[in-house]
Amino acid sequence: MKQLVASFCLLMAFFSGLAQDFRPTFHYTPPKNWVNDPNGLVYLDGEYHLFYQYNPFGNKWGHMSWGHAVSKDLVTWETLPVALPEYPNTDGTTTMVFSGCAVVDSLNTSGFFEEGFHKGLVAIYTSHIEGKAQHQSIAYSSDKGRTWQLYEKNPVLDLGMKDFRDPNVIWYPEHNAWIMTVVKPLEYTVQFYESKDLKTWALLSEFGKQGDMTKIWECPSLIKIPVEGKGKNQSKWVLMISSGHRQKGYLAMQYFVGDFDGKQFTPQKQEEILYVDEGKDFYAGIPFSNLPPKHKKPIMIGWINDWEYANDIPTGDTWRGAFSVPREMSLRMTPNGYRLFQRPVPMFQKVMSKKALVAKNAAISGVWKVPFQGDSYDLLLVIQPQKAEGFTLRLLQSGEEATVLRYDVATQELSLDRTKSGLTDFHRRFSGIDRVKVPLRKGKLYVRVLVDKSIVEVFAQGGEKVMTNWVFPTKNAGEISIASEGSSIKVNSLSIKTF
Ligand code: FRU
């Protein structure tokens, strides 16, 4: 019997150990339970706040409340108690606190704060009553988001609809007013509202019924983004919407670049649908509000997951869901028009180990086993396929098991293959390959990959194309290899940093 108990304990330890092994080291995950969308990303007084959709009672979606974490550097996070829990209504129903944003009401436009107090936070969220209604409500905090007061006259915006959600609010100095971007998910319609006090909202205009309409629309945000390179000192407005994926049936985010005149958003002409991230696991990303001027570019965090299988990912009994590394956003003019570029925030690099240069100007013919082993690192590769048909970069490899990044010269496609990445059969739609067109630049591919146990974030050509994916390796050898296809390739440089 004793033996039986001992082996049972061992087995349990093995399984919980296995589950723990999937927990990333430099991506934020909740200590326990379920998370989805980031909410209320806001900077105030030395702290970056990450509120998020959270189930305080379990590791599947439910009881939606706002969880809370803070960071001083956007790299390490401290988890705080739940900020906005779901709450009961007088008629016996419950209001869940769905996605939204937070702003610093430094001018006390809302009148919620004492005179002369410039550090009041106001959260604008969707009040969701299951099966009945969705409207926008507000709450305020005078102690840096630690405790909150619900506004007694909630909701502040109600169209009498069941699906109307995810408000994102910016300050529009030209009008001395707040502007809210909010969505009617089933109608593929974004609405813009204006308010002087965050309590009374007037409709400005609508935008919609274009772009990706393969799923519903959620979590919109309107944001001014600087243009890099040619046309410097300029900026354009970008409207981001969480919606469908290039591969039908999955979720992703799309964006439109255009102009906003204080009333209406007008997109530039675009021939293709523009996706923020081409992987399967980047959704509901929103920008930070009130960033200090030292940040020249807006910063976004997204939820790493896909509703297709989000409730089933095999991270064990304790936690489920993660957030991307904060990403800086900029625009660049390309032959096809303005395109979004994303890079991990520079602070992130500071905490990684010194650059470990693994290779420089190396010719590779066949398979090269990189002299590095690990499952949590920041890899930068500059590679020239020369006359080869393509090449592969195998990550988190143990024998046959690997996550494979492949470049195909003929099609100019970069693909991320997780069909043999480890656990894949927990959901029939998890296994698969993502492909994205990435032309070489002067014959070279620049690719940065953040590998973090079970998360792979790929930034190609300086962040012009990004792919974020979960993978669940089972064998943990953490090997890396690079292989040429057809003829030899040149690795201009390869460096790997660890956390
Ligand atoms: C997006 C979303 C939002 C909603 C929230 C609920 O992932 O569906 O539209 O507010 O999650 O948790």
**219 ligand 1 Cβ < 6 A:** yes
Within a domain: 3? no
Strands, sheet with 356-364, edge to edge from the N-terminal-most edge strand? 356-364, 489-498, 376-384, 445-452, 455-460, 465-470
| Residue among 37, 124, 161, 190 whose CB has most ligand 1 atoms within 8 A, to mutate | 37
* Residue 499 bridge partners (DSSP): none
Distance 460 CA to ligand 1 centre (A): 29
In sequence order, what DSSP letters do the residues of 432-451 get, joined into one string? -EEEEE---BTTBEEEEEEE
**136 ligand 1 Cβ < 6 A:** no
SS3 state of residue 17? helix
Co-location of 339 and 358 in the same domain: no
Q: What is the pLDDT of residue 486?
A: 96
Q: What is the pLDDT of residue 348?
A: 81
Number of domains in the chain: 2
**Domain residues for 395?**
354-498
Identity (one letter) of the amino acid at 152? Answer: E
Look up the CATH number of the domain holding residue 289. Answer: 2.115.10.20
| Residue among 99, 181, 184, 240 whose CB has most ligand 1 atoms within 8 A, to mutate | 99
Of 278, 311, 344, the residue that ends a domain is: 344
> CA-CA distance, 140 to 147, in Å (whole number)?
8
Q: What is the pLDDT of residue 7?
A: 45
> CA-CA distance, 393 to 402, in Å (whole number)?
10
Co-location of 403 and 317 in the same domain: no
Of 290, 316, 344, the residue that ends a domain is: 344
Co-location of 181 and 321 in the same domain: yes
Token pair of 97, please? 């606190």
* Residue 339 bridge partners (DSSP): 332
CB 343 within 8 A of CB 74: no
Q: What is the pLDDT of residue 20?
A: 45
CB 286 within 8 A of CB 301: yes
> CA-CA distance, 283 to 277, in Å (whole number)?
9
Strands, sheet with 65-71, edge to edge from the N-terminal-most edge strand? 78-84, 65-71, 47-55, 33-44, 319-320
Within a domain: 5? no
Co-location of 411 and 468 in the same domain: yes
Please, what are the averages of pLDDT over each run of 10 residues along the chain (499 residues)?
42 43 95 98 98 98 98 96 97 98 98 97 98 98 98 98 98 98 98 98 98 98 92 88 97 98 96 97 98 97 98 95 98 94 90 82 97 95 98 97 98 98 97 97 98 98 98 94 98 93
**284 ligand 1 Cβ < 6 A:** yes
Q: Residue 196 phi/psi, 5° resolution?
A: -95, -20
Q: What is the pLDDT of residue 21?
A: 83
Supply the pTM of this predicted model.
0.95
Q: What is the pLDDT of residue 231?
A: 60
CB 321 within 8 A of CB 307: no
Residues annotated as catalytic (active site), given as ranges: 37
**Which H or E run contains 77?**
none
Q: What is the pLDDT of residue 350?
A: 76
Tell me which residue has its CA closest to atom 9 in ligand 1. 218
Classify residue 269 by its DSSP letter.
P
Look up the CATH number of the domain holding residue 358. Answer: 2.60.120.560
> CA-CA distance, 136 to 128, in Å (whole number)?
9
Co-location of 148 and 216 in the same domain: yes
Token pair of 426, please? 């927990």
Pairing of strands 327-334, 218-228: parallel
Tell me which residue has its CA closest to atom 6 in ligand 1. 98
Co-location of 396 and 249 in the same domain: no
> CA-CA distance, 331 to 320, in Å (whole number)?
33
Within a domain: 23? no
SS3 state of residue 19? helix
Within a domain: 12? no
Within a domain: 181? yes
> CA-CA distance, 211 to 408, in Å (whole number)?
27
Q: Residue 462 phi/psi, 5° resolution?
A: 70, 20
Distance 218 CA to ligand 1 centre (A): 7
Q: What is the pLDDT of residue 232?
A: 65
> CA-CA distance, 481 to 493, in Å (whole number)?
14
Within a domain: 87? yes
Within a domain: 435? yes
Co-location of 301 and 413 in the same domain: no
Co-location of 478 and 403 in the same domain: yes
**CA 3 to mean position of chain CA atoms:** 46
**53 ligand 1 Cβ < 6 A:** yes
User: Is the N-terminal amide bond of 155 cis, ω within 30° of 0?
Assistant: yes
Of 319, 344, 369, the residue that ends a domain is: 344
List all residues 6 or more positions away from 129 whose beta carbon is below 8 Å from its beta carbon: 89, 93, 94, 95, 96
Cβ atoms within 10 Å, residue 186:
12
Q: Residue 10 phi/psi, 5° resolution?
A: -60, -45
Tell me which residue has its CA closest to atom 8 in ligand 1. 218
Q: Which atom of ligand 1 is nearest to the CA of 303?
A: 7
Co-location of 212 and 332 in the same domain: yes
Co-location of 161 and 49 in the same domain: yes
Co-location of 320 and 370 in the same domain: no
User: Residue 12, exposed/middle/buried by CB under 10 A (0-12, 13-18, 19+)?
Assistant: exposed
> CA-CA distance, 258 to 235, in Å (whole number)?
10
Please tell me the chain's helix, strand, coil percentages from 3-state DSSP, rounded to the nearest 5: 5, 50, 40
Within a domain: 384? yes
Q: What is the pLDDT of residue 4?
A: 44
**36 ligand 1 Cβ < 6 A:** yes
> CA-CA distance, 382 to 192, in Å (whole number)?
43
Residue that the structure tokens 């991990």 belong to: 344
Co-location of 125 and 250 in the same domain: yes
| Residue among 52, 166, 184, 283 whose CB has most ligand 1 atoms within 8 A, to mutate | 166
- Tell me how many degrees the CA angle 9-12-16 measures, rounded to the nearest 5: 140
